[in-house]
Structure 1
Amino acid sequence: MNASLEENKQRIPWSFLLKVFLLGLVTIYYFYFQSELKLDKRLVQFIDGLSAFLIVSVILSILRFLIIFLYNTRHSHRPVRGNFVLGINRLTAILNVVFGIICLMLAFGIDPGKFITSMTIVAMAIAVIFRDYITNMISGLIVMFSEQLSVGDRIRVGEHKGRIIDITFANLVLQDEEDDIVMVPNNMVFTSTFMNLSAHQSSLFSVRFELPLSVSIHIKELEEALKMSLITHPNLKIKNGTIELKVTEIGKDYVKYKIDLYAISNSNRMHRQLENEILKEVLKFESIYIS
């Protein structure tokens, strides 16, 4: 099970409840032990920083919940895009980290404004060094909130092809036809050829093979043999009851073919099984005419 599906499940918000509980304790301590706090400046700074972080974090959690709830309600009539929810969760995590660092500075008596001003040159150097990661992260956020693709889509990016199983700040995580996990940098979506194979018919798949010229003259017989084998296949949807072989290349002593078919689902595993069955039929047919 991939990360996006896990994040979309309804579960008890233990982290939110813990933050509310801690905020309540800090508030009670602040109001009932003011005399002790006046004697310890560092403790006051620590409590101020902690309470500021908890307040901001609780507000972010509530806003996150409301946004996801409104999104799910608005799109209740169609499948919800998992990457939108994933993007909201990841964006909330970034904001929590940013505000956490600021509140940590407050807890130690550091003025965030002056600190950021004094660290401008260092920040610029860090931005240059980690430029690729920063642009990848920004690209990842754009992808998460984009309507062009979603978790579960089959895509082709450059030379890579597979189904999106997760989107991180650094990579698109693809599962290819061999069930291998491929990490594709988010920047490649915007800098190389990108194709969403699930945009229209996600159940479409292609089988490619080649035959010797001596066998290719019997192409009509091959089409009929494949039709008889596949027309009643429970995992295929044969349109108009016909199987059409397309010639993609003619060589000196061979011909390459392609056949486009529709499965009953967009499962990569099912597509591979069907392709294997079709190629076995082709080999069986080829052995008859070669022998």
Structure 2
Amino acid sequence: MFTDETKKMNFPVVFILKIIAVIISITVYNMFPATKDNQLLHQVLKGINTFLVPSIVLSILRYIVISVYNARHANRAVRGNFVLGINRLTAVLNTVLFIIAVMVAFGINPVEFVTSLTIVAMAIAVLFRDYITNMLSGLFIMFSDQLSVGDRIKVGEHKGRIVDITFANILLQNEEDDIVMVPNNLVFTNSMVNLSAHRSNLFTVKFELPLYVATDVATLEKEIQSVLINHPNLDANMPPALQVQEIGKDFVRYKLELYAISSSNKLHREVENEVLREILIFEHARTKSS
């Protein structure tokens, strides 16, 4: 699901710098006629323009596509990672343009170079087959609506919330707050469950208490449930579930799973604040009585 931050267009500093650079490059190119003395300069400037001009056009196309997409979905929430996919694809094309520009700057014909290295390119494709298939799988994921950044998924033995999607991996944040890098191919070669597809209203509140306070788990759970059982922003059919995550030397770490009436992050934060305030009151009362 896209947020306002995803849809917001940043100030195009890099785009402006590219325009300035191409203006300077073209000006210098025209100021110095092609001679034997400045042949190298002309070749380098040609390579720079080979990168900058298509890159500027690519940036304009990217801006137009994202603007049109955001305008069409301005009034409704959408799934998928279309904007992320466009940004990643633009980065790849810019990399290809840069490589071609370097060849031109050194006087190498890119078409002849690729043709002469066809066999080598095939060998490279075989060697980097896994990465190439991962990259293609990443593109499929980015431009599909099956997965989105923020979804909770389970792929094989890995389970967590999607933090980012790259050409190589899906970055998952598991319940222990560790970042797990899952290869994109696993999504297509293993069974995958999108836990957010039907449980998008689920959110988790994590907290910890001192060991001497946390001994009375039943009372803590009763106090929390008494506050949330008739909460207007929570699903009455899904009661709060308190779980012990970790017992340390002097603390106990808990996880409370709640089901809201909507998937609004703002609403989730409001309920979370109410829960944490109740926990602070409980801790203060237990500390005072002990």
Q: TM-score, normalising length from structure 1?
A: 0.71
Alpha-carbon distance change, 76 to 229 in structure 1, aligned in 2, over 3 angstroms: closer
Instruction: Quote the residue 1:112 is aligned against.
Output: 110
Q: How far does residue 228 in structure 1 lie from its aligned partner after superposition? A: 6.2
Instruction: Quote the residue 1:262 is aligned against.
Output: 259
What amino acid sits opposite 2:32 in the alignment? F
Alpha-carbon distance change, 204 to 11 in structure 1, aligned in 2, over 3 angstroms: closer
- Find out whether 1:140 has 2:168 as its counterpart: no
Structure 1: distance between partners of 2:185 and 2:148 = 16
Structure 1: distance between partners of 2:49 and 2:57 = 12
The 5-angstrom pairing of residues 153-232 of structure 1 reads 153-204=151-202, 231-232=229-230
The 5-angstrom pairing of residues 239-278 of structure 1 reads 239=237, 262-263=259-260
Alpha-carbon distance change, 233 to 75 in structure 1, aligned in 2, over 3 angstroms: closer
Structure 1: distance between partners of 2:230 and 2:153 = 29
Q: How far does residue 168 in structure 1 lie from its aligned partner after superposition? A: 0.8
Out of 65, 75, 79, the residue aligned to residue 67 of structure 1 is: 65
Kept in 2: contact 1:8–1:86 (CA 8 A): no
Unaligned runs of 5+ in 1: 207-223, 246-259, 278-291
Structure 1: distance between partners of 2:228 and 2:69 = 42
Structure 2: distance between partners of 1:64 and 1:106 = 25
Farther-moved stretch of structure 1 (4-13 vs 19-28)? 4-13
Q: TM-score, normalising length from structure 2?
A: 0.71
- Find out whether 1:78 has 2:65 as its counterpart: no
Q: How far does residue 49 in structure 1 lie from its aligned partner after superposition? A: 1.3
Alpha-carbon distance change, 11 to 229 in structure 1, aligned in 2, over 3 angstroms: closer
Alpha-carbon distance change, 29 to 226 in structure 1, aligned in 2, over 3 angstroms: closer
Structure 1: distance between partners of 2:223 and 2:50 = 73
Kept in 2: contact 1:72–1:80 (CA 8 A): no
Structure 2: distance between partners of 1:64 and 1:225 = 52
Structure 1: distance between partners of 2:36 and 2:67 = 43
Cα RMSD between the aligned structures? 3.4
What amino acid sits opposite 1:201 in the alignment? R
Q: How far does residue 136 in structure 1 lie from its aligned partner after superposition? A: 0.6
Structure showing greater radius of gyration is 1
Give the paired residue count: 237
Structure 1: distance between partners of 2:50 and 2:78 = 34
**Aligned partner of residue 169 in structure 1, secondary structure:** coil
Structure 1: distance between partners of 2:6 and 2:224 = 44
Unaligned runs of 5+ in 2: 205-221, 242-256, 279-290
What amino acid sits opposite 2:106 in the alignment? F
Farther-moved stretch of structure 1 (5-14 vs 158-167)? 5-14
